[in-house]
Structure formats: C-alpha cells, structure tokens
Amino acid sequence: MDIIEKLNWRYATKQFDPTKKLSDDQVNKLIEATNLSPSSFGLQPFSILLIENEEIRKKLKEAAWNQPQLTDASHVVLFAAHTDLSNKDVEDFLKLISETRNIPLESLSEYDAMMKGFIAGMSESDKINWISKQTYIALGQLLVTCAVEGIDACPMEGFDKGQFDEILGLKDKNLTSVVMATIGYRSENDKYQHLAKVRKPIDQILVRI
Ligand SMILES: Cc1cc2nc3c(=O)[nH]c(=O)nc-3n(C[C@H](O)[C@H](O)[C@H](O)COP(=O)(O)O)c2cc1C
C-alpha cells in the first residue's frame, strides 16, 4: 500500500473493538514516532500521557460526552501543555543539545538568548496557545504513523479540559490537557469505516502562486 492508500484507509474511528489490544512494541513505536515530531525551536514543551487505567478511563469518558472510544480503544494518548514554561526549559534543552551533539554549552549562547527573549514576550495564555500548536503537530504525526502501521485511531478534542485536568491531577504536575487520540483496532461494526472519504477537491484547497 502506498501512503495515499494508507491515509485513505485511516478514518476517525468511532467504535473500537474492546477485545483487541496493541502490544507494548506497537505502543512504544507509536510514542517514539510521535516524539520525533518537530516542535518550535525543538523545545517540546508538552507531555504525552499514555492512559490505560480502566477506572480513570470511565471517568474521562463521562467528561468527553460519553464518547465510547475512551473506554473501548486499546489506549488513550493525551497531549498536555506545560503550564510552567520558563527559562529553565530553555537551559535543560540547551544542555541536552550540548550533550547529544557533544558541543560546548557556551557555543549555544545566542540560541539561549533568542529563545528566552521569545518566551519572555508571551503572556501566559499566549504560551499555552503556542504550546498547543506544537501538540497538534505531534498528534498529526501520531495519526499518520498509526495509518502506516495499520493501527486505528481517533483524534479527539470533544472533551471538557477542566474536568480532564482534574481527573488526572494535571494541575499539580504543571500540565493542562490539549488534545488526544484514542488508538487500537476498529470494530467490524463501526459503520464509519465503510463511508467514502469526504475531502474538498484539490483545486479548491490548493493555491498555486
Ligand atoms: C482536532 C480534532 C478533534 C476531533 N475531535 C473528535 C472527537 O472528539 N470525536 C470524534 O469522534 N471525532 C473527532 N475528530 C474527528 C473528525 O471528525 C474527523 O477527522 C473528520 O470528520 C474527518 O474524517 P476522517 O478523519 O474519518 O477522514 C476530531 C478531529 C480532529 C482533527
């Protein structure tokens, strides 16, 4: 199957088969692929929560308009923004670059000043907004990886973020929920898998300049 066939195969799964679970190897691969998604500056100012606990998922489902994917999918992957983004994140990141690439920290001083200046120019809500955009890129990468691997997924933002934060105790972890994907295997009864894909014709969406 080429990539277009795979992307046509994928759809926002409404009904998962609750008896089918992804293996640890599959989940690890999906998370690794998601972690490889690009982010602004490379800072990755978000966390990926992998949620399996059944009791917690029942509560999350109630806070997500009772959408069945929350309890029937194999796993829930929730992207959460760091609410305490600060100069320390920049410093930790520069240390990681320095160690990974074996270059002196001092050689990164201009990058340091640039990132810190950028962060200082944002309000708290600007920061969450900016970080949220990074999580959507990661979500997209997760969805495409799922399609390539023949794994079903549903991107989801139909949930009460305040309730999710409360159920998962995210405030204490300096996190706030943004968007999620439920992942697993489609139920053979999910009628949505048989519907034709609805997309605008390319000439309506593409502007050549
Ligand atoms: C950010 C985002 C949030 C979404 N939230 C939900 C959701 O809460 N529940 C749901 O069933 N589908 C959700 N969807 C799925 C979309 O409805 C679906 O992707 C769209 O209708 C296109 O269909 P397709 O993905 O099957 O091609 C969401 C999609 C995106 C990208």
The residues with which 181 forms a beta bridge, in sequence order, are 77, 155
Q: How far is the CA of 181 from the centre of ligand 1 (A)?
A: 10
pLDDT, tens digit, for every residue of 141-192? Answer: 999 999 999 999 999 999 999 999 999 999 999 999 999 999 999 999 999 9
Q: Which atom of ligand 1 is nearest to the CA of 11?
A: 26
What's the whole-model pTM score? 0.98
pLDDT, tens digit, for every residue of 91-144? Answer: 999 999 999 999 999 999 999 999 999 999 999 999 999 999 999 999 999 999
Domain count, the chain: 1
Print the domain residue range for 103. Answer: 3-205
Q: How far is the CA of 11 from the centre of ligand 1 (A)?
A: 8
CATH code of 170's domain: 3.40.109.10
User: Ligand 1: which residue has its CA nearest to atom 4?
Assistant: 156
Would you say the CB of residue 11 lies under 6 angstroms from ligand 1? yes
Q: How far is the CA of 12 from the centre of ligand 1 (A)?
A: 6
Q: Provide CB contacts within 8 A for 19, sequence distance 6+.
A: none
Cβ–Cβ under 8 Å, residues 156 and 202: no
